[in-house]
Structure 1
């Protein structure tokens, strides 16, 4: 099962952020202007992402820009890192400008676990 996230016009910006801070790799990104069917594309929407795919470690995330995207409620995306140092680096990058809900720390089920609401720069 893959996760599909809707952004409100900042999908490309978010994916570039994930590339810089998570070592992610964009596999595909198509804007509405690149769509073979231009009959439904308004000029204000031509630079918005129609469909994108990014690999973050062993996980693939798909996304698009949609006009009425709403913030996620009761949905969480989880990243697994190969080391505590990498977990601390990624958590610091994602929580910068956001809000830490649970500090990154050792728990009974993980060497490092934390939770944060990431900034709008990284979510769109």
Structure 2
């Protein structure tokens, strides 16, 4: 049992029978809404690829790609994105090279995202 479950059990034990029943009904309601949401998401979202702007910076490219691939989890890509950003800022890699690598990174993550629907 994890800490959340222990806290929930502690709270539930403090409730009277009617309140526990209300808690259970609400939890079941939330679970049913989750199933409905999951059922709707049976097909992957398509990216809306935005064109690169003239003289685009690495930060601008990251913003553009995050907007283009809005369905991707930005947190899951944070380390790789930050590493590429550091290659540019600290390592002096040309912006165009880093932007190209960012585009590949986002495309690869999108392909992995699509595979979750197969």
Classify the TM-score, shorter chain: under 0.3
Q: Which is higher, the Rg of structure 1 or of structure 2?
A: 2
User: Larger % of strand: which?
Assistant: 1
Q: Which has the higher contact order (CA 8 A, sep 6+)?
A: 1
User: Larger % of helix: which?
Assistant: 2
